[in-house]
Amino acid sequence: MIDSATIAENLAAVADRIGRAARHVGRDPQAITLVAVSKTQPAAAIRAAYAAGQRDFGENYVQEWQHKAAEVADLTDLRWHVLGHVQRNKVKLVIGKVALLHGVDDMLGLDEMARHAWQAKVQQDVLLQVNLAQEATKRGCTEADADLFVEVLARSPGLRLRGLMLLPPFDLDAEAVRPWFARMCALRDRLQAAFAGVPTLPSAGHWWLSMGMSHDFEAAIEHGATHVRVGTAIFGPRA
């Protein structure tokens, strides 16, 4: 059973926490996009959040996303975000159909995305995923390779790089995650300065930073996150 009132209350509480975290560091809360991560949740939960005003939704698995997107196709101003790696054989299913891909993480995948975007004559917004801790279990380019990826993305006509995405080593203690957020913010600042003036990239000061989940999004906002990806704190625990 979907409890619409609880989802609406949770959304309001998360918005409140985003506002407080932003103001705490002198940032405008409006500059932060809340992506409601609806993986494993039924379409009814998405409708409940939508009814409460939520428009940005994130899914991890292309097939699951396709099924749910079809179920809520009547919500035409809903914006989909695909989080993390998209298998190469699934790339053509998402290009041009989602607002933002939060997980460009390898050159072959990037190539495939660029080819499909070019063929479909669309400009797909993407974020480059960086695996700062170089965890074997996570995707993402290394910090050292980020410049090269940005150069290639700047030259990929169908892809529009908007910024960076981080999935840091998991720790329930947000304070333990904070150094990764700080390091990611520094990397974002370095890249946007290094590539300032490149017309196919966002101008300096406008690079997005997708980081922060239910247990640590306030810390992420304090370190510059422009997109927080929150599931559990909105929809409750996943089955």
Residues in contact with ligand PLP by CB under 6 A are: 37, 39, 60, 83-84, 167, 213-214, 229-233
Closest approach, Cβ 96 to ligand PLP, in A, equals 22
- Helix (H/G/I), strand (E/B), else coil: 121: coil
Closest approach, Cβ 156 to ligand PLP, in A, equals 23
Nearer to ligand PLP, 50 or 61 (CB): 61
Nearer to ligand PLP, 201 or 234 (CB): 234
3-state SS of the chain: helix, strand, coil percent to 5? 45, 15, 40
Distances in Å between the alpha carbon of 125 and those of 51, 103, 236?
26, 11, 29
Closest approach, Cβ 46 to ligand PLP, in A, equals 15
Nearer to ligand PLP, 102 or 195 (CB): 102
Pairing between β-strand 33-37 and β-strand 100-104 as defined by DSSP bridges: unpaired
**Residues near 27 by beta carbon (within 8 Å), at least 6 away in sequence:** 221
Nearer to ligand PLP, 140 or 158 (CB): 140
Nearer to ligand PLP, 39 or 183 (CB): 39
Closest approach, Cβ 187 to ligand PLP, in A, equals 18
**Residues near 114 by beta carbon (within 8 Å), at least 6 away in sequence:** 156, 157, 158, 159
Closest approach, Cβ 84 to ligand PLP, in A, equals 5
Rounded Cα gap, residues 26 and 155, in angstroms: 35
Output the residue with the shortest Cβ distance to ligand PLP.
231
